[in-house]
Amino acid sequence: MELLLAPEDKKKIESGIREKYAKVAAGPEGLFKYPTGRAGLEALSYDPEILKTLPSSVLDSFCGVGNPFSLGPLNPGDAVLDIGSGGGLDSLVAARMVGPGGKVVGLDLSPEMVTRANENLRQTDFANVVFQEFSGEDLLFEDGSFDVVLSNGVFNLIPGKGRMLQEACRVLKPGGRLLIADQILTGTLTKSTPERIDSWFR
């Protein structure tokens, strides 16, 4: 069920996310309660053969919570959208899997994360990857544009979860795949809405 948020609460959440990820863009170490960077990738069993081919700065930028590729590999030639691409690790892993005949678009709300992803991209020879700054709640793509939509550690941050899911399904081709890695709450939510908003992205 969608949490009903006032427009000012939504704004507060978005500005908190932008503030946090402006810091994360400089390096995620010490800013999360779970392992990030290379330690996170190792713990989540990312393919070491693919990681070996990527610049070390992109491995260091990783702050995902799961391994979306554990849900199945991508196919050569696939068109892929990575929502909340951060420093670009999953987008570049995807680019390696889809090959030069495929394409990858990474998008992120945080301008600093997009800058970081572009710096990482410049250290590679991929010609089929772009990073853009906008929200996963409003996808500026035609219906049926992608074979795969990826998202890693982002869905939990998005106030309009229903909207993001609808948008992700809209831009998928018929038979396309949505590969989401995220964290879920298993206990009871006891805090009041204002407390939940204040602790949204901590």
Ligand X SMILES: C[S@@+](CC[C@H](N)C(=O)[O-])C[C@H]1O[C@@H](n2cnc3c(N)ncnc32)[C@H](O)[C@@H]1O
Kindly state the tokens that stand for 146.
């992608």
167 near ligand X, judged by CB under 6 A: no
Of residues 9-68, those binding ligand X (CB under 6 A): 17, 21, 62-64
Q: Are 66 and 34 in contact (CB under 8 A)?
A: no
**Closest approach of Cβ 154 to ligand X, in Å?**
4
Q: How far is the CB of 175 from ligand X (least distance, A)?
A: 24
Question: Is beta strand 146-152 parallel, antiparallel or unpaired with respect to 172-181?
Answer: parallel
Residue 102 CB, shortest distance to ligand X, in Å, is 19
CB-wise, 138 or 195, nearer to ligand X?
138
Shortest Å distance, C-beta 134 to ligand X: 7
Residue type, 136: G
**Tokens linked to 34:** 């779970």
Q: Is 108 in the site for ligand X (CB under 6 A)?
A: yes
Among 95, 154, 168, 180, binds ligand X (CB under 6 A): 154
Question: Residues 79-112, buried b or exposed e (16+ Cβ, 10 A)?
Answer: bbbbbbbbbbbbbbbbbbbbeeebbbbbbbbbeb
Of the pair 78, 108, the CB lying nearest ligand X is at 108
Distance CA 105, CA 96 (A): 13
Q: Mark the segment that binds ligand X (CB under 6 A) among 73-81, 93-101, 102-110, 141-149.
A: 102-110
Tokens read off for 59 = 């491995």
DSSP result, 91-120: HHHHHHHH-TTSEEEEEES-HHHHHHHHHH
Only segment of 118-126, 132-140, 170-178, 191-199 that touches ligand X (CB under 6 A): 132-140
Cα–Cα distance for residue pair 87/82, rounded to 1 Å: 11
Q: What is the largest CA-CA distance in the chain?
A: 49
Q: By C-beta, is 29 or 101 nearer to ligand X?
A: 29
Which range touches ligand X (CB under 6 A), out of 69-77, 120-128, 152-160, 187-195? 152-160
Among 113, 148, 149, 172, binds ligand X (CB under 6 A): 113
Residue 131 binding ligand X, by CB under 6 A = no
Binding site for ligand X (CB under 6 A): 17, 21, 62-64, 83-87, 89-90, 107-110, 113, 135-137, 152-154, 157-158
